[in-house]
């Protein structure tokens, strides 16, 4: 699982959910982590199955799509300069203003349970979300996420 400074985008200026998603997916493609097809696939997926999640603090979104578009497992995080509206997961049109986008590139089904559970724990902690949203250093964001997600980064993976 890859999570490094190159995948953490700060002060992202986007005017719509789609723009934010395209920017993040484009970055993942440039880094070779996903195939080009991932970009359209994830935009389409978000339209049909929205991933905005209201929390006690900043709303988050977890765009993701099918594994065939993914080369390498990774998480990309974008902190938006101004929140943009994402449709809420499970709702037809109701939106929530999202500040933090966690884009998932996953290449196996049913294999990321612990990681996802830890991610959801982050979403349930408004203080953690607040500190991630306001941290200036990408390295610190990465380090605290790695710690929170309890990655085992052995052998420089």
Partner 1 sequence: MKKKQILIACGAGIATSTIVNDAIESMCKENGIAANLVQIKITEVGGYVDTADLLVSTTIVQKEYPFPVINARAFLTGIGLDEAKAEILEQLKK
Give the binding site for partner 1 (CB under 8 A): 45, 48-51, 53-56, 62, 64-67, 88-92, 104, 106, 109-110, 112-113, 116-117, 120, 123-124
Q: Rounded to whole angstroms, how far apart are CA atoms 11 and 92?
A: 29
What SS3 class is residue 154? helix
Place of tokens 């200026």: 13
Nearest distance from C-beta of residue 24 to partner 1, angstroms? 16
Place of tokens 């700060």: 10
CB distance 7 to 77 below 8 Å: yes
Give the nearer residue to partner 1 in terms of CB position, either 58 or 142.
58
CB distance 72 to 107 below 8 Å: yes
Q: Rounded to whole angstroms, how far apart are CA atoms 5 and 146?
A: 11
Give the nearer residue to partner 1 in terms of CB position, either 56 or 134.
56
Nearest distance from C-beta of residue 156 to partner 1, angstroms? 26
Give the nearer residue to partner 1 in terms of CB position, either 109 or 147.
109
Nearest distance from C-beta of residue 11 to partner 1, angstroms? 26
Nearest distance from C-beta of residue 91 to partner 1, angstroms? 7
The CB-side HSE value for 13 (13 A sphere, CA atoms) comes to 0
Nearest distance from C-beta of residue 71 to partner 1, angstroms? 16
Give the nearer residue to partner 1 in terms of CB position, either 10 or 66.
66
The CB-side HSE value for 118 (13 A sphere, CA atoms) comes to 12
Give the nearer residue to partner 1 in terms of CB position, either 95 or 112.
112
């Amino acid at each position: 699982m890859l999570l490094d400074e190159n995948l953490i985008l700060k002060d992202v200026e986007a005017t719509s959910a789609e723009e934010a998603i395209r920017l993040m997916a484009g970055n993942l493609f440039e880094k070779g982590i996903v195939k080009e097809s991932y970009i359209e696939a994830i935009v389409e997926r978000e339209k049909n199955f929205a991933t905005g999640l209201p929390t006690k603090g900043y709303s988050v979104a977890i765009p993701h799509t099918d594994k065939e578009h993914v080369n390498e497992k990774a998480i990309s995080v974008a902190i938006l300069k101004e929140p943009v509206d994402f449709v809420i997961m499970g709702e037809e049109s109701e939106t929530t203003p999202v500040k933090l986008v966690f884009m998932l590139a996953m290449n196996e089904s049913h294999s990321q349970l612990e990681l996802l559970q830890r991610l959801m724990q982050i979403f349930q902690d408004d203080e953690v979300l607040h500190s991630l949203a306001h941290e200036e250093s990408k390295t610190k964001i990465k380090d605290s996420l790695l710690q929170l997600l309890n990655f085992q980064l052995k052998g420089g993976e």
